[in-house]
Structure 1
Amino acid sequence: MRGICQFVIGVCLLGLVGCSSPQPRLGGSELKTYDVYTRLGFEYLQEGDTSNAKQSFQRAIEMNSGYAEAHNGLALVFQLEGDTALAETYYRKATQLEPDSAMMHNNFGAFLFANQRYEEACQEIARATEDPFYTRRSQAFENLGRCYRLLQRDDAAKHAFQRSLQVTQNRPVSLVELTDLLIDANEPADAGKYFDRFLELVDKRQTEHYAKSLWVGIRLERMRGNTSRAATFALILKNLYPESEEYQQYKESSR
């Protein structure tokens, strides 16, 4: 299972969840000073300037030690710099200060996932999905599904992917992951419904095949008895992703 939304500052943080930065809060008609420093910190982060970002977030915390968004910003800085212990300290502080913030639980969950702490990651990401107004809720459900799969909790993963699609109908990864789960459960008819939706997105050029989608397609078409279509997917997999784990699985299955 590949990474779930790793953070990449500048494009806003892995295939681990996209990083979310907070929107400025208005105090009366003007931004509060610590808000300004926090926004400046995120601007520096987007430019890859972690030194000035760090100073801006620290200045915000000096003005308001209980400002969760500045703590979240420092967590992102230290994660980017590879200082795992400090990053975790600030993530925990941010989630403690704003326990109802879906964005902060999502970011913390992505951090934990990137560090292969899947049980904890699932707990944090699940918290992010609880907010019905969270703008990245469908992505959070998708990330939660991936996390559950790594814990071999397939029923929970299936539910999470279905919830992702209920929030946003055509999420390619959720469609492929559900297809994969249903193939494993020997339910080709239901698996086909999800995969056909994925193929529609490919035909409309709203997404592209990737190694896993092609391997899932091969397995599904074999179950359907459509050897020609399975061979087509196999050829694309061989040509585009010859070094992938999925291609190795395909070769082993063909022996």
Structure 2
Amino acid sequence: MRRAGVALVLAAAVGLSACSSQSTQVTGGRTSQEALESYTSLGLQYLRAGDTSTAKGPLLRALEIDSDYAPAFNGLALVFQSENEPELAEQYFRKAVDADSQSAMIRNNFGAFLFGEERYQEACHQLSRATEDPFYQQRAQAFENLGRCYRRLERLDAAEHAFNRALTLSRQRPVALIELADIQLIKNQPVQAAILFERFRELVEEKRVDHFALSLWVGVRVARYEGRAGQAATYALLLKNMYPESEEYRLYEESR
């Protein structure tokens, strides 16, 4: 239905959620909980460094201490996702959800994984669950991810609500600004789209974000609405040069 976009953003994988089976026994001068967190954090550090093979060791060590430790399952899921092993990644994501069904971080990560697998109905379910926790530090990101998922299901009203919630929680989420501007243009509300695009453009000028295919296509349409043919041509040229194979460029060509 829509163009291929950038992958959904994963939550900060270093977040460690509580687990009902945690032990407080002291071993080797530190509690087992401290050991669990240390091993899991070490595994995620290796993962961020791109050393997925070494990352597995500390995560498995954490599971030796607590065989039901959700953050370690989540870490292994991310490792296998990075290694392009989707079946194993899903297996460990499900273990993580079973171990801690209330973890918004795990739900967000699992939803992002399912989105990447183009299983949008399932992805939206997981992402919706991630948005339910009012104390989740990445809640704005989860709403943004959810909005993009709803767009793949052609549920524009639900997507609009999710993007608005993301911007309520964090005013400067560039993807939500552009996706919402695009929806306003589809709904023939160019004034609202122009306001949203201007907020995004300010972030670009401040060098906090870069243009991407959809932002340039939105820019073309907003500039046309405002009667700025030169600016529209500039955005179109950038779109052609940077994203010639994108659906946005195809839509631009059809609109000429």
Conserved in 2, the CA contact under 8 Å of 1:16 and 1:113?
no
More deviation, 214-223/22-31 = 22-31
Q: Does the CA-based 8 Å contact 1:215-1:233 persist in structure 2? A: yes
SS in 2 for 1:135: coil
The structure 2 residue matched to 1:235, chosen from 225, 234, 237, is 237
Confirm or deny that 1:20 pairs with 2:22: no
Question: In structure 1, what residue type is equivalent to 2:147?
Answer: G
Q: Which runs of 5+ in 2 are unaligned?
A: none
Q: How many Å apart are 1:31 and its aligned residue?
A: 4.8
Report sequence identity in percent. Answer: 51
Partners of 2:177 and 2:203 lie apart in 1 by 10
Deviation (angstroms), 1:3 = 4.4
Q: Secondary structure at the match of 2:142?
A: helix
The equivalent of 1:209 in structure 2 is 211
- 1:9-48 correspondence runs (5 A): 14-23=7-16, 30-32=30-32, 33-48=35-50
Provide the residue aligned with 1:221 in structure 2.
Answer: 223
User: Could you say which residue in structure 1 is the equivalent of 2:193?
Assistant: 191
Distance in 1 between the 2:10 and 2:68 partners? Answer: 26
Q: Distance in 2 between matches of 1:3 and 1:228?
A: 27
Bigger RCO of structures 1 and 2 (CA < 8 A, at least 6 apart)? 2
Letter in 2 for 1:21: V
CA contact (8 A) 2:44 2:55 kept: yes
Letter in 1 for 2:10: V
Counterpart CA distance in 2 for 1:207 and 1:78 is: 29
Per-residue CA distance 1:170-220 (angstroms, 9 max, x = gap): 111111111100100011111111112112222222222222111111122
Other-structure match for 1:161? 163
After TM superposition, list the pairs within 5 Å mapping 1:77-116 onto structure 2.
77-116=79-118
Distance of 2:210 and 2:39 partners within structure 1:
40
Deviating more after overlay: 34-43 vs 183-192? 34-43
Which residue of the other structure, out of 66, 69, 72, is the alignment partner of 2:68?
A: 66
Q: Give, in angstroms, the shift of residue 222 of structure 1.
A: 2.2
Cα contact 1:138–1:163 (8 A) shared by 2: yes
Partners of 1:217 and 1:211 lie apart in 2 by: 10
**How far is 1:18 from its partner?**
4.4
TM-score by length of 2: 0.87
Cα distance in 2 between the residues matched to 1:43 and 1:236 = 37
Deviates more, 1:137-146 or 1:81-90: 81-90
Once the two structures are TM-superposed, the CA of residue 15 in structure 1 deviates from its matched residue by: 4.8
- The letter for the 1-side match of 2:14 is S
- The separation in 2 between residues aligned to 1:89 and 1:229, in whole angstroms, is 49
| Contact kept? 1:24, 1:35, Cα under 8 Å | no
Mapped to 2, the partners of 1:19 and 1:84 lie a distance apart of 20
**Contact 1:24–1:31 under 8 Å retained in 2:** no
| Deviation at residue 24 of structure 1 after TM alignment | 8.6
Letter in 2 for 1:42: L
- Given the superposition, is the C-alpha separation of residues 200 and 109 from structure 1 closer, same or farther in structure 2, using an over 3 Å criterion? same
User: In the alignment, does 2:131 pair up with 1:138?
Assistant: no
Structure 1 alignment gaps of length 5 or more: 5-13
Query: Which digits, 9 at most, give the CA deviation of each residue in 1:117-168, with x for residues without a partner?
Result: 0110011111111112212111111111100000000000000111110011
Structure 2: distance between partners of 1:115 and 1:47: 24
1:152 partner amino acid: E
CA RMSD of aligned residues (A): 2.3
Distance 1:152 1:127, change over 3 A: same
Instruction: Verify the 8 A CA contact 2:8 2:116 in the aligned structure 1.
Output: no
